Amino acid sequence: MGDRFSAEEMPIDPVTFTGDFAWLHAYCAERSGPTGMAQWSDIRLVDFPSSLLPLLVIMDVVDDARAFVFRYWGTERTNLQGVDMTGKSVMELAIPGLAEGMLMQNRRAVEARAPILYRNCFKSPSGRVVEYDALRLPVLDGPDIGKVFAVSQFITGHEVSPPGPRDHPTPV
């Protein structure tokens, strides 16, 4: 792999989800109405497991050039990428190709009006190659999709800080 971000869309099968993927998908599914998507007003971050919050990203869908703005950027994301992106556009991500990849995946989740799963790979600022699966879930804010949730499970290249016991792949 070079210095660029790469991605491959994967098939969605919630039956195979484990750990944070299974929890987040089930949480949103329990709150989904006839559209199959949860409403932002029904989401309570205080309900989320403490292991998930440092690894979670919530993006606002905005109707301008910024496209997606990070409302919530988990602390493990900052540890990995070396920057807190809260309040910033996806387009401001500095890792080569990452902004374009995240923009495309978020647009894909909005267009699909359903969860999507990607296998992603990039080189972190520390030089480590990081490979992970990323689950993105669109969330309604009124009649329109207003948020995209993202959580990742690492395959290679990352250790959670501080280390702690986990019974599933370490997500970010």
Give the range of the structural domain holding residue 106, as residue numbers without chain letter.
Answer: 6-156
Q: Would you say residue 102 lies in a domain?
A: yes
> How far, in Å, are 13, 86, 113, 126 from residue 116 at the CA level?
10, 23, 9, 28
> Is 172 inside any structural domain?
no
**Could you tell me if residue 34 is inside a domain?**
yes
Task: For residue 47, give both structure tokens.
Answer: 């309900």
pLDDT tens digits along 48-102: 999 999 999 999 999 998 999 999 999 998 887 889 999 999 999 988 788 999 9
Strands 57-61 and 68-73: antiparallel
Number of domains present in the structure of the chain: 1
Calpha distance 73→54 (Å, rounded): 8
117 inside domain? yes
pLDDT tens string 9-46: 999 999 999 999 999 999 999 999 899 999 999 999 99
Residue 113 is assigned to a structural domain of this protein: yes
Report which of 49, 66, 7 is spatially closest to residue 171, judged by C-alpha positions.
49
110 inside domain = yes
CATH, residue 33: 3.30.450.20
User: What's the whole-model pTM score?
Assistant: 0.85
**Is 162 domain-assigned?**
no
> Is 69 a domain residue?
yes
